[in-house]
Structure 1
Amino acid sequence: MTDAEHVRNAMARFDQVKGVTDAERDEAFENIKVAAKHYGIEMTETSWRQFGKKPHTTNSSH
């Protein structure tokens, strides 16, 4: 991942990916964790299964 925006997009869209195995999801999740740490992004998820369960950003318009 090339920047923080890319990492945030990967987190937000992770649960939309189709046609991959759980092993591939495990690998992708680990890559996202490494990239998030590199770009200073706090991740509360401890498993890819948690993606899509809650918003990743707060929406101040509500």
Structure 2
Amino acid sequence: MRKWQAWHYLIIVFALFWVGFASFLTIFSGFPFLVISIALTVTGAFSCVIIALAWMYQNDK
């Protein structure tokens, strides 16, 4: 079995963070839907960029 690369771990970490952040924003805050959706979209986009950079760094040949 192959060893996992760092970007695999980052996917799991960012997914757990995103779910926790989404739960916190929807349950414990009084923000409107638009603010919550923008916050989650920005967080998801930054996570995708970081994962893509980690993938490119590890697969640079």
TM-score, scaled relative to structure 1: 0.47
Larger RCO: Structure 1 or Structure 2 (Cα < 8 Å, ≥ 6 residues apart)? 2
When Rg is computed on C-alpha atoms for both structures, the one with the higher figure is: 2
